[in-house]
């Protein structure tokens, strides 16, 4: 695996540049917003929610809870000494 600048090829540099570009940054916001709009548009039929109020509330609470759990740093497990 190349680790120094002299060992990194032009293709790798291009991929790094594109991955950290402003386009990539803003595309993430646009893609997420588009996904949310699509999901909301399919959550209702003829002006009525497909799920009941309790199910909608549960789904709304599950998202931030999952996000908070995923972003919490995990403790590393220590290797047990062998006998």
Alpha carbons 37 and 55: distance in angstroms, whole number: 19
- Domain assignment present for residue 1? The answer is no
State the DSSP string of 3-52: -STTTS-HHHHHHHHHHTSHHHHHHHHHHHHHHHHHHHHHHEETTEESS-
Task: Report if residue 48 sits inside a domain.
Answer: yes
Mind listing the pLDDT tens digit for each residue in 19-78?
777 777 888 889 999 998 998 888 888 888 888 889 889 988 998 898 888 877 766 666
Query: How many structural domains does the chain have?
Result: 1
Residue 4 lies in a domain: no
Least confident segment among 4-8, 12-16, 32-36: 4-8
Is the overall model pTM greater than 0.85, yes or no? Answer: no
Domain hosting 45: range is 10-71
């Amino acid at each position: 695996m190349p680790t120094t600048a002299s060992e990194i090829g032009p293709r790798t540099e291009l991929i790094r540049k594109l991955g950290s570009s402003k386009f990539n940054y803003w595309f993430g916001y646009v893609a997420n917003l588009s996904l949310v709009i699509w999901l909301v548009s399919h959550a209702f039929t003829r002006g009525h929610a497909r799920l009941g109020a309790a199910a909608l509330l549960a789904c709304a609470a599950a998202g931030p809870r999952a996000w908070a759990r995923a972003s919490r740093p995990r403790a590393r497990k220590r290797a047990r000494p062998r006998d």
